[in-house]
Amino acid sequence: AQSVAQPEDQVNVAEGNPLTVKCTYSVSGNPYLFWYVQYPNRGLQFLLKYITGDNLVKGSYGFEAEFNKSQTSFHLKKPSALVSDSALYFCAVTLGGGYQKVTFGTGTKLQVIP
Amino acid sequence: EAGVAQSPRYKIIEKRQSVAFWCNPISGHATLYWYQQILGQGPKLLIQFQNNGVVDDSQLPKDRFSAERLKGVDSTLKIQPAKLEDSAVYLCASTRPGTGGGEAFFGQGTRLTVV
């Protein structure tokens, strides 16, 4: 069975500082990995994905994520946090190919402090 | 392109009543998902359609939940009878062909409160 772990319920960071939101995964096979963001009373919005290739993927709003196969991690990063980045962030995993089930983590609330 | 449309946005019902949610995916998206998101948790897949066929409904409580996607476009999710623990946001999502089921576009969700 595949699973995703987001070990931090909440991450606090000062505006302008770098941020990291952690994600580890477990899947039998090659993973497709995703990050989504959810603002209050809104649906989830796609940020970025890793399927294959370069381990560092860049996405929307200046976010990037690094795939580390040996550590089975896919941490979300941003060099300089904005107050508007405050939201709920979800990591997700699926097996590549076909129409596979997508498993989401429990989410990490990011609070950027002015 | 227009996004995934869901209605209603909010619904309050008493336990043991029935309720239905509607979803219209993005045009051309063959895969449609219904997720349940309980407060403080990540979305949990209830059912996945490929066109009008069911791909995965392993986590759908079939004794009370049902879903259909007639003609491979719109979809409805029904709960009958509702329980208190069904209080959650129900999210509909759709994906383009060939994206491996992940890069999904989500609707704003329907917030269900069962009292």
Would you mind telling me the total number of residues written for chain A in this entry? 114
Comparing C-alpha atoms, which of A24, A3, A6 is closest to residue A89? A6
Q: What is the dihedral of CA B101, B107, B108, B109, to 10 degrees?
A: -80
Answer yes or no: are the C-beta atoms of B33 and B92 closer than 8 Å: yes
Who among A34, A104, A105 is closest to B103 (CB)? Answer: A34
How many angstroms separate the CA atoms of A53 and A80, rounded? 25
pLDDT of residue B102: 61
Mean pLDDT of chain A: 92
Structure tokens at B104: 């999904």
Cβ within 8 Å, pair A100-B100: yes
Number of inter-chain CB pairs under 8 A, A vs B: 67
Task: Show the beta-strand stretches assigned E in chain B.
Answer: 5-7, 10-13, 19-24, 31-37, 44-50, 53-56, 65-68, 75-79, 88-95, 104-106, 110-114
Please write the tens of the pLDDT for every residue from A43-75.
899 999 998 888 999 999 999 999 999 999 999
pLDDT of residue B2: 76
| Chain A residues touching B4 at Cβ < 8 A | 43
